């Protein structure tokens, strides 16, 4: 049994509920116990860190101190939360007294979803427990930027060409299509201000994914998922092309492969219903 | 060969040097040292010398073929008597003191005996394992046995081998899975079959039913799925069967030669264990009798496996092959009934192997409540094994209704599926275990389910209930657990009851051996264990002569485990009968299997054999089918070759020279060395670390070194420019510069110095290969700073149309459908644009190799922050450790000529340290006196080589031999397997003596590599080495005409006839011996000249140092510090002091060279000084006459004090307070450089500017300093100072050459410059304008050039013999070059060159005399008209018109090129050994003329018969 502290952040309690549920389902199947941080608070992404870096660090620092009290590794599924807490971790280590009035050791590693499940023991467990290999389902892994960059904050070893999610997809039998857009920006942070740019950036990703022979896009960032899933019809209309690429959370597909029975209710939360694709592959 | 081991000289210094790394640097250093009287051990990590240079296609800036240039050096090193080349080796430790080290070298096994291997290549074709070729940077494959590259020295093969792969290690019988899989991947099915059969006599049977643990361990699972190892085995077996059905047998079974005198062996049991043991023993010649209880052989394979899994026909094929080995079989003979062990002994059997299997079914005895089971004797209750046996023997019962099978193992499944085939309408399996716990293999359960067998798990049988004495139903009770906590069988049941109807019940719950032949008190029997115990290693029983194995020892197990026992038993019995130790060497230490190779593999799904659909399964038709040939080959190629070499032994079979030694072990050797020279080279930066370039993701993104291989004729596309994804010819190629250089993010802040030039070269070559190709180079600065580089860069732009675009590319994106690559960049007009390319080449930087870092750690040699060897600014080849010197790119990134210079420099330093011990460790070869053959009739011996099968496979060698016998003058002809092998050499010597041969012709391979070897042989036989001729019937016949054997043979005869004809005309030639004046002359006493003189003097040579100026010191007198801060003036003062004091140096200042004459070994200089002329003699000369700073005429220089040069600024900065008073300074670069009239880059000005700018900023941070530049060329580690300058606030503004800065003087100084980045002019108001003025050749250079007859370049600098490999030599032997006289360069480079030139000179001065080749031109003075044609043409300026008005050619200077002989209008010049008649004789016989009648005069004994 593996026990890990869990910081869901606001997205996973809202727009990305299916991400949260699928992570829980996967953890259950893999015998991983999620210990949700008691009384966690906002990580300070978006509003706080644009306006007041000190405040943003303090917000995340509080969460880190809570996690340190739990004494476990920390899993943060939201890429923005992950990056904020990693940033705070760096700041806390650099100037311990500045952001908190209690000591901070920072012993616990902080994981994002792809790196967490790609730990060898878990990867092996996934391979052992897969009930239904998603053979014949071709997708591209899309990491986005926040979980990877800047590498000195995220600690990503190969921020330009990460492979953790590729490994997870392979472990559940998917075909990983090679493409060179794994960490290109989807425009998520301009989702409100400059939708024209978002449509350009996300549209380029769809075009590249389609060219790569993918039938779906697989991600582990709630902003990317929302952005790509929500905008696709709009972009298709604007460009006059059809992509029809469902955007999955990697954990949704892992749960499917691990034989979880609750997947159907997640598909309903997608803007582009992935069921027809999965049905055509005999996976539903 | 005499080992000249004198006593160690004063101070105990050892006259030997260890050179680590055999790239071009290591080779040069080794040659310089060995030629100067030191013994050299050259240690190389890979299997061949040559290093990185051998991998390159062409070299810049001359576009010479890299391989052609390096190849003669390879040969020179390889054959040098005083260089011991140790390849595949690494230095592990060094002990001792400078002057006397002991160096430990670990030599990894090569698995090939270099003394025997003739590099014929026969093994290469047979090796089935393909691996990525390191030499070709993975752009193509090589075999597991390989030669690093075609021209490699040592020329012998090597084998790459790791631990055994997991498949082989896991297989109980250790079948060579990797080997046969690889052979199948190569389409070599017969060899694959034979290889399987060695360790598994049942390929057809096991290929169907083996539980294949190999696949369970296959490393490929980490990638996708295991290789289908077992289906491939079956494929090989079935392929052979198909061939045999057609009457062919490509793999006949091995047959034993039975020796009736050997002891007789009995084998009891005809199952897999017994058959294996019987076969192995028969193959060893033992008379073996096998006893089998049943009528047919096969054991469990026959009786226990249903036909739909293993048809009897397939098994009998295997059995037939086994029987072919030649043992006797007695079937239907039961132990205990028909014979006894004791009886066998009495019949004379001396050993017996018991392998009776476990064929007895175990009945179900107990009910779930523990009482004896009721109903087991009812009609309709059968036992599983009996049932299967009856079915197989054709007497199986026919069923109706429902069959219930009790049991969860494989037998139960087989029973269930067989029951269905026997007519059962419904089949149900009931077992104790839960579905997950069922012991049957998952795939077998799936088979049964597919056929509608229902599985009813977790039930125990309470009772079999009957009606009317016949079964009617089975009463069941729920089983909650089968095993207790300790894993023992202890079923637990709860209160849940059930029942199932049954017409037949078949019990398949276990099996055991039938030991009824043994009495309870038989010593073999262990009553407690209820078995026959046997030693687990040897299988020997307590009876000694009886061995036991297979299921009867292990309990029911797999076929392959039984086979394994068969092997072990045969081995034990053989040892037992020969009275040997049964255990010796059999306990193998546990070793880890080879891991999955760490490289990229394409994913590929496993081949699935087709299967008969359940509806189509009639009777016992086989369900699973054999793989198709295409499937099998593709599947074979999925193997990752984890162990590299698969040990399939195909190479051993192919090698006629017995050179392959698969069990070679590592060796550690300690060498004595007075000094250690490190030249481990560099490693290309791995661009996978810069993920944005998609390297490793997009196939069409390659590194520059990979592109070198693409360009190379020996590369993956034979020199055609192709791209990897689709092998299409690219039309648009982009180079991205600075990948892994000048990059703080990856920690390589330095500039790699060579990439700009190699990218330009690659672009030029690509355009040259593909007309119309668009080549684009994306760069930061073009650093074309070397000699001739700038004009090369210009020609790339103008002549080849290469596009240069300034700017950093941030990402490479792939178009997945086309494989094209999209680059985004900012155009000159400032817009972001996307451009598509077919191929992207990443110009990867240089970094120290991992092994160099390890080595430095072991030896405690200091490294810098990047891992390069740490050196001092003005001692560039000295490491932090005394007695250790560094050469080449381990010291800093550098190109080939720099590497060669530093290598010679390091050699000089070792020579300085060890000069007292010079000559103490050298080997000299002595030869028997030469026989005088004058006047003898030519007696030609012809040796025709088969080269293994390399020549013989195509050329009819015996035909050629017979033909040669018919040729005139031929006294002896023979055919050799390998003419170059050591034994053949000895035989040739004997033959020469025996037949009194006076000419020798070898018809084999190329004289390029082998002529020196055969000439040696002649000398050892007392013949002059020039009485030898070669015919290249390999390269010229069998290689190029391999598909035309008849014509190739014809041509071979022509070549041999020509060779014989010339041989008959050959004359003995003596070498020219030249006495050496062991003193040196150095011209110029600047930094370079003084350094060279000191090095020569420190190496023990008297040196005259001639300086034109009244003071020594040259330009260095005006320089105070280097860019890295070293104090130049104190260094210079130290040099001058030492020069003045050194007893072996005589310094002549204010002395001008007047006249110069002589030749190598004996030069004479007339020097004018104080109105008198002095004569100075020496055997070698170093030209270090320097250069001078350009006095600018541009930018108002000389019109205002506000305009100065960098040198002047440096002088001013010495004044206290000068820098503090500066407000704004503008520096202008490239003044007098990179212009039409002076196209070269002065190389040092950028560093000067950065140095002075930093000096200003350091004292006066508020001063504004602008540097107006074209490209900042701070190459190497100077890049760090450029970085520092930018951080310090120095502003760099780029200008275009056609928009030079405008300087306005008068009142305020104004400088106006068009800023490239802003796109608008900028006006600056400096108080000082500093011009970075060019370096010019010394004005005296033309005079020196004329006097010494050595050439100058168009720029006026001295021209070296070869830009790449002879940068310190002139074409005229004995004259060397160093410092600014060669080209602009830094002080460190001058110092390195000066030392290097001293080392080059030492190769001459170290000997009292030198032998020069006798192949020289000579003038027939009577015919010479003195027309000067030869004088004008000779590239070495050797011919002179003498007092008699005719040409004279000094033999000591002549290079024997023959140009003069070919142009002489009066045919007054002949080149020895290549006289007209010697060449015409070949042409004559080629065209059928009776050459022997027209042979010219002066040919010794060339008369004779027709």
**A235: closest CA of chain B, how far (Å):** 20
Identify which of B224, B690, B813 has the shortest CB distance to residue A180: B813
First-residue to last-residue Cα distance in chain B? 42
Q: Please say if the pLDDT value at position B1137 is more than 50.
A: yes
- Give the Cβ contact number of residue B858 at 10 Å: 14
In angstroms, the CA B576 to CA B545 distance is 8
pLDDT in tens, B685-744: 999 888 899 998 899 999 999 999 999 988 999 889 999 999 999 999 999 999 999 999
Q: Which of B275, B294, B171, B276 is nearest to B233 (CA)?
A: B171
Q: Which residues, including other chains, have CB under 8 Å from residue B610's CB and lie 6 or more apart?
A: B624, B625
Of the residues A160, A175, A182, A185, the best mutation for testing chain B's interface (the one with the most B CB atoms within 10 Å of its CB) is A160
Identify which of A177, A178, A180 has the shortest CB distance to residue B812: A180
pLDDT in tens, B1407-1423: 999 988 899 999 999 99
pLDDT in tens, B1006-1038: 887 789 889 999 999 999 999 999 999 999 999
Report the run of H or E that residue B402 belongs to, with start and end: strand B402-406
Query: What DSSP character marks residue B1297?
Result: G
* Strands (DSSP E) found in B110-211: 130-132, 141-143, 145-146, 158-159
**B700: closest CA of chain A, how far (Å):** 13
Is the Cβ pair A160, B814 closer than 8 Å? no
Q: Positive or negative CA dihedral for A95, A99, A105, A111?
A: negative
Give the pLDDT mean for B931-945.
94
Chain-centre distance for alpha carbon A82: 9
Identify which of B688, B690, B813 has the shortest CB distance to residue A181: B813
pLDDT in tens, A73-111: 999 999 999 999 999 999 998 887 888 888 888 888 999
Asked if the C-beta of A52 comes within 8 angstroms of chain B's C-beta atoms, the answer is no
Counting DSSP H helices and E strands in chain B, the numbers are 40, 69
Residues 172-211 (A) with a CB less than 8 A from some CB of B: 175, 177-181, 208, 211
Residues 215-274 (B) with a CB less than 8 A from some CB of A: 224
**A69: closest CA of chain B, how far (Å):** 35
Using left for φ > 0, alpha for ψ between -120 and 50, and beta otherwise, residue B607 falls in beta
Q: Residue A1, exposed/middle/buried by CB under 10 A (0-12, 13-18, 19+)?
A: exposed
Asked if the C-beta of B813 comes within 8 angstroms of chain A's C-beta atoms, the answer is yes
Asked if the C-beta of B696 comes within 8 angstroms of chain A's C-beta atoms, the answer is yes
- Give the Cβ contact number of residue A76 at 10 Å: 28
User: What pLDDT does residue B1492 have?
Assistant: 40
A172: closest chain B residue by CA: B224
B701: closest chain A residue by CA: A180
Is the Cβ pair B691, A160 closer than 8 Å? yes
Q: Which of B216, B67, B184 is nearest to B641 (CA)?
A: B184
SS3 assignment, position B130: strand
- Give the Cβ contact number of residue B974 at 10 Å: 15
Could you tell me which residues are beta bridge partners of residue B833? Answer: B825
In terms of DSSP bridges, do strands A73-75 and A32-36 run parallel, antiparallel, or are they unpaired? unpaired
Asked if the C-beta of A131 comes within 8 angstroms of chain B's C-beta atoms, the answer is no
In angstroms, the CA A212 to CA B105 distance is 51
Asked if the C-beta of B462 comes within 8 angstroms of chain A's C-beta atoms, the answer is no
B691: closest chain A residue by CA: A160
To 5 degrees, how large is the angle CA B266–CA B271–CA B272?
A: 100
In angstroms, the CA B1290 to CA B850 distance is 36
User: What pLDDT does residue B733 have?
Assistant: 98
Cβ proximity of B37 and B919 under 8 Å: yes
pLDDT in tens, B184-233: 999 999 999 999 999 999 999 999 999 999 999 999 988 888 999 999 99
Identify which of A161, A170, A213 has the shortest CB distance to residue B697: A161
Question: Contacts of residue A170 in chain B, CB cutoff 8 Å?
Answer: 224
**B744: closest CA of chain A, how far (Å):** 13
**B214: closest CA of chain A, how far (Å):** 19
**B482: closest CA of chain A, how far (Å):** 23
In angstroms, the CA B980 to CA B114 distance is 12
Q: pTM of the prediction?
A: 0.87
**A130: closest CA of chain B, how far (Å):** 14
Is the Cβ pair B814, A179 closer than 8 Å? yes
Question: Contacts of residue A158 in chain B, CB cutoff 8 Å?
Answer: 688-689, 691
User: What pLDDT does residue B11 have?
Assistant: 65
SS3 assignment, position B693: helix
Is the Cβ pair B816, A161 closer than 8 Å? no
Tell me the two tokens of residue A156: 């990503």
Give the pLDDT mean for B670-685.
97
Q: Please say if the pLDDT value at position B6 is more than 80.
A: no
SS3 assignment, position A22: helix
Give the pLDDT mean for B341-348.
94
Is the Cβ pair B812, A213 closer than 8 Å? no
**A83: closest CA of chain B, how far (Å):** 20
Asked if the C-beta of A161 comes within 8 angstroms of chain B's C-beta atoms, the answer is yes
Is the Cβ pair A161, B691 closer than 8 Å? yes
User: What pLDDT does residue B617 have?
Assistant: 87
Q: Which residues, including other chains, have CB under 8 Å from residue B1029's CB and lie 6 or more apart?
A: B999, B1000, B1001, B1002, B1059, B1060, B1062, B1063, B1066
Q: How would you list the strands of the sheet with B546-548, edge to edge? A: B328-330, B288-291, B264-268, B349-354, B546-548
In angstroms, the CA B1042 to CA B615 distance is 54
Question: Contacts of residue B692 in chain A, CB cutoff 8 Å?
Answer: 160
Lowest mean pLDDT among A114-128, B1222-1236, B1482-1496: B1482-1496
User: What pLDDT does residue B1415 have?
Assistant: 94
Give the CA distances from residue B446 to residues B417, B450, B453, in Å, rounded to whole numbers and listed in that order: 11, 6, 10
Tell me the two tokens of residue B775: 């080549």
Is the Cβ pair B816, A181 closer than 8 Å? no
- Give the Cβ contact number of residue A142 at 10 Å: 28
To 5 degrees, how large is the angle CA B1007–CA B1009–CA B1015?
A: 60
Main-chain phi, psi angles of B476, to 5 degrees: -120, 155
In angstroms, the CA B154 to CA B457 distance is 67
**In the structure, what pLDDT confidence band is assigned to residue B1489 with cuts at 50, 70 and 90?**
low
**A207: closest CA of chain B, how far (Å):** 10
| DSSP states along B79-128 | H-TTEEEE-SEEEEEEEEETTEEEEEEEEPP-SB-TTT-----HHHHH--
In angstroms, the CA B1229 to CA B1263 distance is 19
Question: Contacts of residue B740 in chain A, CB cutoff 8 Å?
Answer: none
Of the residues B603, B691, B701, B823, the best mutation for testing chain A's interface (the one with the most A CB atoms within 10 Å of its CB) is B691
In angstroms, the CA B51 to CA B679 distance is 10
In angstroms, the CA B1229 to CA B1300 distance is 10
**A71: closest CA of chain B, how far (Å):** 33
User: What pLDDT does residue B35 have?
Assistant: 97
Is the Cβ pair A180, B696 closer than 8 Å? no
Of the residues A143, A150, A175, A180, the best mutation for testing chain B's interface (the one with the most B CB atoms within 10 Å of its CB) is A180
Give the pLDDT mean for B967-990.
91
Q: Positive or negative CA dihedral for B103, B104, B108, B109?
A: positive
Cβ proximity of B1248 and B1274 under 8 Å: no
Main-chain phi, psi angles of B1217, to 5 degrees: 85, -10
In angstroms, the CA B209 to CA B558 distance is 9
Is the Cβ pair B691, A159 closer than 8 Å? yes
A207: closest chain B residue by CA: B815
Q: Which of B676, B709, B677, B681 is nearest to B51 (CA)?
A: B681
Is the Cβ pair A160, B696 closer than 8 Å? no
Is the Cβ pair B692, A212 closer than 8 Å? no
Asked if the C-beta of A47 comes within 8 angstroms of chain B's C-beta atoms, the answer is no
Q: Is-cis flag, bond preceding A28, omega within 30?
A: no
**B702: closest CA of chain A, how far (Å):** 15
pLDDT in tens, A146-197: 999 999 999 998 898 899 999 999 999 999 998 999 999 999 888 888 999 9
Asked if the C-beta of B691 comes within 8 angstroms of chain A's C-beta atoms, the answer is yes
Give the CA distances from residue A113 to residues A116, A255, B1046, B1053, in Å, rounded to whole numbers and listed in that order: 5, 14, 69, 74
Give the CA distances from residue B1481 to residues B513, B777, B993, B1062, B1476, in Å, rounded to whole numbers and listed in that order: 86, 54, 27, 6, 8
In angstroms, the CA B915 to CA B957 distance is 53
Give the CA distances from residue B829 to residues B775, B778, B1292, in Å, rounded to whole numbers and listed in that order: 20, 16, 20
Q: Which residues, including other chains, have CB under 8 Å from residue B957's CB and lie 6 or more apart?
A: B944, B945, B946, B951, B975
DSSP H stretches of helix in B742-783: 755-769
In angstroms, the CA A152 to CA B1237 distance is 50
Q: Which of B347, B294, B340 is nearest to B319 (CA)?
A: B294
Is the Cβ pair A180, B224 closer than 8 Å? no
Q: Positive or negative CA dihedral for B284, B285, B287, B291?
A: positive
Report the run of H or E that residue A28 belongs to, with start and end: helix A17-30
Nearest 10 degrees: Cα torsion B1439, B1440, B1445, B1447: -10
B814: closest chain A residue by CA: A180
**In the structure, what pLDDT confidence band is assigned to residue B247 with cuts at 50, 70 and 90?**
very high
Asked if the C-beta of B697 comes within 8 angstroms of chain A's C-beta atoms, the answer is yes
How long, in residues, is chain A?
284
The ipTM, to two decimals, is: 0.90
Mean pLDDT of chain B: 93
Is the Cβ pair B688, A180 closer than 8 Å? no
Q: Which of B901, B914, B1260 is nearest to B24 (CA)?
A: B901
């Amino acid at each position: 049994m593996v026990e890990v502290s869990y910081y869901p952040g606001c997205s996973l309690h809202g727009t990305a509920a299916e991400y949260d549920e699928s992570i829980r389902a996967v953890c259950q199947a893999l015998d991983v116990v999620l210990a949700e941080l008691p009384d966690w608070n906002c990580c300070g992404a978006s509003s706080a860190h644009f306006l007041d870096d000190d405040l943003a660090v303090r917000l995340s620092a509080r969460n880190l101190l809570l996690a340190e009290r739990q004494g476990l590794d920390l899993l943060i599924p939201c890429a923005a939360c992950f990056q904020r807490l990693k940033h705070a971790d760096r700041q806390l280590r650099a100037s311990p007294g500045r952001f908190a009035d209690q000591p901070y050791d920072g012993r616990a590693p902080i994981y994002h979803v792809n790196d967490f499940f790609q730990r060898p023991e878990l990867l092996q467990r996934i391979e052992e427990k897969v009930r239904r290999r998603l053979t014949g389902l071709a997708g591209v892994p899309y990491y986005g930027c926040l979980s990877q960059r800047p590498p000195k904050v995220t600690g990503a070893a190969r921020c330009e060409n990460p492979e953790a999610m590729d490994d997870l997809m392979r472990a559940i039998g998917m075909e990983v299509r090679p493409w060179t857009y794994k960490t290109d920006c989807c425009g998520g942070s301009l989702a409100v201000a400059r939708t024209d740019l978002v449509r350009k950036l996300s549209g380029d990703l769809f075009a590249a994914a389609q060219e790569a022979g993918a039938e779906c896009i697989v991600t582990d960032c709630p902003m990317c998922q929302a952005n790509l899933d929500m905008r696709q019809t709009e972009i298709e209309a604007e460009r006059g092309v059809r992509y029809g690429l469902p955007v999955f959370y990697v954990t949704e597909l892992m749960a499917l492969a691990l034989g979880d029975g609750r997947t159907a209710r997640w598909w309903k939360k997608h803007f582009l219903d992935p069921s027809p694709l999965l049905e055509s592959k005999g996976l539903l | 060969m005499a080992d000249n081991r004198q006593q160690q000289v004063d101070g105990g210094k050892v006259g030997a040097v260890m050179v680590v790394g055999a790239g071009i640097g290591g080779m040069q250093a080794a040659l310089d040292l060995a030629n100067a009287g030191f013994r050299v051990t050259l240690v190389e990590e890979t299997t061949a010398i040559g290093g990185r240079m051998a991998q390159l296609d062409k070299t810049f800036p001359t576009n010479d073929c890299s391989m052609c240039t390096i190849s003669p050096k390879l040969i020179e090193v390889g054959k040098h008597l005083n260089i011991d080349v140790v390849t595949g080796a690494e230095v592990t430790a060094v002990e001792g003191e400078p002057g006397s080290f002991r160096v430990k070298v670990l030599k990894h096994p090569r698995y090939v005996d270099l003394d025997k291997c003739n590099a014929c290549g026969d093994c290469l074709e047979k090796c089935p394992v393909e691996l990525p070729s390191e030499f070709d940077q993975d752009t193509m494959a090589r075999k597991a046995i390989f030669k690093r590259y075609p021209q490699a020295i040592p020329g012998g093969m090597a084998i790459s081998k790791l631990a055994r792969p997991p498949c082989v290690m896991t297989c109980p019988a250790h079948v060579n899975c990797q080997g046969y899989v690889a052979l199948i991947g190569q389409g070599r099915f017969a060899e694959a079959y034979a290889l399987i059969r060695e360790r598994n006599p049942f390929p057809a049977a096991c290929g169907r039913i083996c539980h294949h643990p190999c696949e369970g361990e296959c490393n490929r699972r980490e990638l996708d799925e295991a290789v289908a190892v077992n289906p491939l085995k079956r494929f090989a077996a079935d392929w052979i069967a198909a061939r045999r059905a057609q009457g062919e047998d490509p793999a006949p079974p091995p047959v034993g030669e039975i020796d009736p005198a050997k002891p007789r062996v009995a084998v009891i049991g005809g199952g897999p264990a017994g058959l294996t043991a019987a076969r192995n023993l028969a193959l060893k010649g033992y008379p073996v009798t096998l006893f089998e209880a049943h009528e047919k052989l096969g054991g469990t394979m026959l009786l226990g496996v249903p036909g739909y899994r293993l048809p009897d026909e397939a098994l009998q094929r295997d059995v037939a092959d086994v029987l072919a080995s030649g043992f006797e079989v007695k079937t239907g003979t039961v132990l205990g009934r028909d014979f006894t062990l004791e009886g066998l002994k009495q019949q004379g059997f001396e050993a017996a192997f018991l392998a009776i299997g476990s064929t007895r079914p175990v009945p179900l005895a107990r009910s779930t409540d523990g009482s004896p089971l009721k109903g087991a004797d009812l009609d309709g209750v059968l036992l599983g094994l009996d049932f299967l046996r009856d079915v197989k023997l054709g007497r199986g019962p026919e069923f109706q209704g429902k069959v219930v099978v009790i049991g969860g193992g494989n037998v139960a499944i087989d029973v269930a599926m067989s029951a269905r085939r026997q007519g059962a309408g419904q089949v149900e399996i009931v077992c104790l275990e839960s579905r997950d716990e069922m012991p049957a293999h998952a795939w077998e359960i799936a088979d049964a389910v597919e056929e509608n067998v229902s599985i009813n798990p977790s039930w125990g049988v309470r009772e079999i209930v009957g009606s009317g004495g016949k079964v009617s139903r089975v009463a069941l009770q729920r089983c909650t657990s089968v095993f207790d906590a300790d894993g023992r069988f202890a079923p637990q049941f709860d209160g849940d009851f059930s029942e199932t109807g049954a017409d037949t019940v078949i019990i398949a719950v276990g099996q055991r051996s039938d030991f009824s032949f043994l009495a309870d008190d038989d010593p073999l029997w262990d009553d407690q264990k209820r078995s026959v115990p046997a030693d687990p290693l040897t299988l020997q029983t307590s009876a000694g002569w009886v061995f036991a194995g297979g299921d009867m020892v292990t309990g029911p197990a797999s076929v392959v485990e039984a086979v394994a026992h068969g092997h072990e038993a045969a081995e034990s019995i053989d040892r037992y009968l020969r009275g040997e130790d049964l255990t010796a060497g059999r306990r193998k230490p546990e070793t880890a299997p080879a891991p999955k190779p760490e490289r990229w593999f394409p994913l590929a799904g496993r081949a699935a054999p087709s299967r008969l659909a359940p509806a189509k399964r009639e009777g016992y038709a086989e369900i699973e089918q054999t793989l198709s040939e295409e499937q099998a080959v593709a599947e074979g190629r999925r193997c990752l070759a984890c162990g590299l070499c698969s040990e399939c032994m195909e190479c051993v079979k192919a090698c006629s020279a017995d050179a392959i030694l698969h069990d070679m072990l590592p060796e550690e050797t300690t060498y004595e060395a007075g000094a250690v020279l490190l030249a481990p080279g560099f490693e290309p930066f791995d661009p996978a670390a810069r993920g944005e370039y998609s390297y490793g993701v997009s196939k069409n993104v390659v590194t520059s070194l990979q592109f070198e291989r693409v360009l190379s004729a020996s590369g993956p596309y034979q020199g055609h420019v192709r791209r990897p994804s689709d092998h299409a010819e690219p039309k648009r190629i982009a180079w991205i510069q600075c990948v892994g250089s000048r990059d703080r993010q990856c920690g390589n802040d330095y500039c790699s110095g060579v990439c700009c030039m190699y990218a330009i070269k690659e672009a030029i070559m690509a355009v040259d290969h593909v007309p119309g190709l668009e080549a684009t180079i994306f760069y930061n600065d073009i650093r074309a700073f070397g000699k001739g580089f700038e004009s090369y860069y210009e020609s790339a732009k103008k002549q080849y149309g290469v596009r240069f675009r300034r700017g950093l590319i941030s990402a490479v994106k792939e178009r997945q459908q086309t494989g094209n690559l999209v680059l985004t960049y900012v155009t000159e007009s400032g817009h972001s644009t996307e451009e598509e390319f077919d191929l992207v080449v990443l110009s990867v930087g240089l970094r120290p190799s991992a092994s160099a870092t390890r080595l430095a750690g072991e030896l405690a040699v200091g490294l810098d922050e990047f891992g390069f060897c740490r050196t001092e600014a003005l001692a560039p080849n000295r490491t932090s450790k005394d007695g250790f010197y560094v050469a080449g790119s381990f010291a800093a990134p550098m190109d080939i000529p720099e590497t060669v210079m530093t290598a010679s420099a390091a050699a000089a330093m070792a020579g300085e340290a060890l000069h007292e011990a010079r000559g103490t460790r050298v080997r000299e070869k002595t030869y028997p006196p030469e026989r005088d053959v004058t006047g003898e009739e030519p007696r030609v011996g012809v040796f025709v080589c088969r080269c293994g099968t390399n020549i013989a496979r195509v050329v009819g060698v015996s035909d050629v031999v017979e033909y040669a016998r018919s040729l005139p003058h031929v006294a002896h002809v023979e055919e050799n397997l390998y003419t170059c092998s050591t034994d053949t050499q000895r035989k040739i010597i004997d033959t020469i003596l025996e037949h009194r041969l006076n000419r020798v012709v070898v018809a084999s391979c190329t004289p390029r590599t082998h002529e020196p070897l055969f000439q040696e042989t002649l000398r050892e036989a007392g013949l002059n080495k020039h009485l030898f001729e070669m015919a290249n019937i390999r390269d010229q016949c069998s290689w190029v005409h391999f598909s035309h054997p008849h014509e190739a043979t014809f041509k071979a005869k022509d070549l041999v006839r020509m060779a014989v004809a010339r041989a008959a005309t050959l004359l003995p030639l003596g070498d020219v011996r030249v006495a050496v004046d062991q003193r040196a002359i150095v011209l110029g006493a600047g930094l370079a000249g003084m350094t060279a003189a000191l090095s020569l003097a420190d190496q023990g040579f008297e040196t005259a140092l001639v300086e034109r100026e009244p003071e020594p010191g040259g330009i260095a007198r005006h320089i105070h510090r280097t860019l890295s801060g070293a104090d130049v003036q104190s260094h210079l003062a130290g040099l001058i002091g030492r020069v003045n004091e050194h007893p072996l140096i005589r310094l002549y200042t204010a002395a001008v060279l007047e006249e110069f004459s002589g030749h190598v070994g004996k030069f004479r200089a007339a020097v004018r000084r104080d109105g008198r002329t002095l004569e100075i003699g020496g055997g070698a000369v170093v030209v270090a006459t320097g250069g001078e700073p350009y006095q600018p005429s541009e930018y108002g220089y000389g019109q205002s004090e506000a305009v100065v040069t960098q040198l002047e600024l440096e002088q001013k900065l010495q004044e206290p307070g000068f820098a503090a008073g500066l407000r704004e300074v503008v520096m202008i670069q490239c003044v007098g450089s990179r212009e039409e009239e002076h196209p070269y880059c002065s190389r040092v000005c950028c560093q000067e500017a950065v140095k002075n700018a930093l000096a200003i900023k350091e004292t006066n941070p508020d001063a504004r300093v602008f540097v107006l530049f074209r490209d900042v060329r701070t190459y190497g580690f100077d890049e760090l100072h450029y970085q520092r300058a930018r951080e310090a606030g120095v502003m760099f503004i780029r200008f275009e050459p056609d928009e030079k800065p405008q300087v306005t003087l008068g009142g305020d100084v104004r400088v106006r410059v068009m800023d490239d980045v802003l796109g608008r002019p900028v006006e600056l108001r400096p108080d000082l304008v500093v011009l970075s003025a060019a370096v010019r050749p010394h004005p005296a250079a033309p005079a020196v050039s004329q006097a010494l007859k050595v050439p100058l370049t168009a720029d006026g600098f001295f021209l070296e013999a070869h830009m790449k490999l002879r940068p310190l030599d002139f074409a005229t032997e004995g004259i060397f070059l160093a410092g600014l006289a060669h080209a602009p360069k830094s002080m460190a480079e001058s110092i390195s060159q000066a030392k290097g030139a001293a080392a080059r000179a030492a190769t001459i001065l170290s000997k009292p005399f030198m032998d020069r080749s006798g192949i020289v031109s000579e003038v027939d003075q009577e015919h010479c008209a003195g027309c000067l044609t030869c004088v004008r043409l000779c590239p070495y300026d050797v011919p002179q018109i003498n007092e008699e008005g005719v040409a004279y050619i000094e033999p000591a200077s002549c290079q024997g090129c023959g140009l003069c002989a070919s142009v002489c209008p009066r045919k007054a010049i002949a080149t020895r050994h290549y006289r007209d008649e010697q060449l015409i004789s070949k042409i004559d016989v080629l065209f059928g003329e009776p050459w022997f009648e027209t042979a010219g005069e002066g040919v010794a004994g060339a008369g004779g018969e027709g």
